[in-house]
């Protein structure tokens, strides 16, 4: 039935029961939750026959399609707001065919994303409520709309190029699918693509999912400002920080610190940012042309230059250019570069990190990096790695570098 030995299946099943029986809150920590989930997946793989599992996997894109169409029709919003709503009501509100609505929701009820309350009658589950949230909507719309065509073309694209690893940001799968030679982020910011770019920035606000913030497990204050920050130089510059969600989280964690803080990104992104703390200065910024902000004399450099999920967007050549710009603002013995990103293990890599790596390949001709690859990149840029830190569970790691 499975390549997994029977005793290992039983051991993992027992492990799950033991983890779930620990008091009123079974998930004592993120690490325990991930351990239980990994054990559960091993049991599922052992019980599921490969011929059945592969067929189910082959048909899984239809679930993705059903979710995206229902999001377009605001079906999740309608179901979330009603204890029970009929397919006929949903069809009437969305000006859609009732039979189509039933077919789409048949898949989503089978997957557990929507509750089936009767024949053609639907109600919310916790999945429905989450999918209806602003961050989830941005994620599913951006990922579906930007990746499905490049993924569909990837097989022929790779074959035509002799199965070479893509590294050219102007000539990748995304460019072939959209018939452009613009790098992906450049293409996203042209006016006609405003909706997908807005969805992208909404997704970036929540791309950590439920995984813990680095501020909850990394000794940030002890490492970077144990006595508090009293300089006129910025305490933290969020380089290409989007709408400032990570910066606001930092300020919420350390409200006693006066800053100042700097949020840097393209002007349209900054314009879409919500009301931010008065401690934050917004600065228009081009990742490849502008060095991050410098402080005032006598420091002339920020304490922390923070980059979350930035380096994984680019191949090594572009990363070297970014790092040269960051270095131009750093002060030796004072400034830190803090990178919040996946640090892939050489063996035993998790599924999400592996999938994220391929998504980077498809959308950006870039990649997630292993510890060895991170060391090679940063040291080649003339940076010294102070440390690489792994979080609990399967969240993104922290890399601290100095001049």
The closest alpha carbon to 269, from 283, 280, 279, belongs to 283
H/E stretch holding 374 reads helix 371-380
Between β-strands 115-118 and 121-123, what pairing exists: parallel, antiparallel or unpaired? Answer: antiparallel
Please enumerate in sequence order all residues whose Cβ is within 8 A of that of 349, keeping only pairs 6 or more positions apart, or say none: none
Report whether 395 contacts 211 (CB < 8 A). yes
**Treating both helix axes as pointing N-terminal to C-terminal, what angle do 98-110 and 87-94 enclose, rounded to 10 degrees?**
120
Exposed / middle / buried, residue 57 (Cβ in 10 Å: 0-12, 13-18, 19+)? exposed
- What is residue 387's three-state secondary structure? strand
Where is 197: in which H helix or E strand?
helix 194-205
Give the Cα separation of 88 and 106 in Å (integer): 14
HSE toward the beta carbon, residue 271, CA cutoff 13 A:
4
Give the burial string for 95-134 (b: 16+ CB within 10 Å, else e): ebeeeebbebbebbbeeebbbebeebbbbbbebbeebbee
Report how far residue 75's alpha carbon sits from residue 69's, in angstroms, rounded to the nearest whole number: 9
Q: How many residues comprise the chain?
A: 403
Element (H, E) at 183: none
Catalytic residue flag (residue 229): no
List the 304-308 sheet strands across, edge first: 280-284, 261-265, 236-238, 304-308, 336-341, 397-402, 384-389
Radius of gyration of the chain, Cα coordinates, nearest whole angstrom: 23
List the catalytic residue out of 15, 229, 230, 312.
312
From residue 121, alpha-carbon distances to 101, 116, 130, 400 in Å are 11, 6, 20, 53
Break the chain down into helix, strand, coil percent, rounded to 5.
Answer: 50, 10, 40
Q: Could you tell me where the DSSP H helices lie in 59-133?
A: 61-72, 75-80, 87-94, 98-110, 126-131
Active site residues: 312
């Amino acid at each position: 039935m499975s390549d997994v030995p029977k005793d290992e299946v039983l051991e993992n099943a027992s492990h799950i029961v033991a983890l779930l029986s620990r008091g009123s809150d079974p998930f004592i920590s993120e690490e325990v939750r991930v351990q239980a989930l990994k054990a559960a997946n091993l049991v599922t793989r052992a019980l599921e026959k490969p011929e059945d599992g592969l067929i189910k996997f082959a048909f899984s894109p239809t679930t993705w399609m059903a979710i995206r169409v229902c999001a377009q029709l605001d079906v999740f919003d309608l179901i979330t707001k009603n204890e029970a709503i009929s397919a006929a009501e949903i069809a009437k509100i969305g000006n859609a065919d009732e039979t189509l609505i039933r077919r789409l929701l048949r898949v989503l009820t089978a997957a557990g994303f929507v509750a089936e309350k009767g024949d053609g009658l639907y109600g919310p589950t916790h999945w429905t409520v989450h999918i209806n949230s602003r961050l989830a909507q941005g994620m599913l719309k951006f990922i579906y709309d930007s990746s499905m065509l490049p993924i569909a073309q990837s097989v022929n694209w790779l074959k035509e190029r002799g199965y070479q690893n893509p590294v050219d940001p102007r000539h990748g799968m995304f460019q072939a699918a959209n018939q452009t030679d613009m790098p992906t982020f450049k293409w996203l910011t042209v006016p006609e693509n405003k909706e997908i770019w807005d969805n992208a920035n909404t997704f970036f606000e929540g791309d950590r999912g439920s995984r813990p913030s680095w501020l909850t497990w990394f000794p940030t204050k002890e490492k970077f400002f144990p006595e508090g920050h009293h300089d006129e130089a910025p305490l933290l510059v969020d380089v290409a920080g989007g709408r400032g969600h990570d910066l606001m989280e930092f300020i919420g964690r350390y409200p006693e610190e006066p800053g100042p803080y700097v949020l840097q990104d393209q002007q349209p992104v900054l314009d879409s940012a919500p009301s931010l703390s008065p401690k934050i200065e917004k600065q228009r910024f081009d990742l490849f042309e502008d060095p991050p902000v410098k402080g005032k004399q006598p420091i002339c450099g920020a304490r922390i230059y923070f980059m979350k999920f930035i380096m994984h967007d680019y191949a090594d050549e572009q990363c070297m250019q970014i790092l040269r710009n960051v270095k131009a603002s750093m002060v030796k013995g004072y400034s830190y570069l803090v990178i919040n990103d996946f640090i892939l293990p050489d063996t035993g890599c998790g599924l999400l990190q592996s999938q994220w790596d391929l998504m980077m390949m498809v959308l950006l001709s870039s990649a997630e990096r292993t510890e060895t690859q991170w060391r090679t990149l940063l040291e080649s840029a003339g940076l010294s790695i102070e440390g690489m830190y792994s979080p609990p569970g399967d969240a993104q790691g922290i890399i601290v570098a100095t001049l």
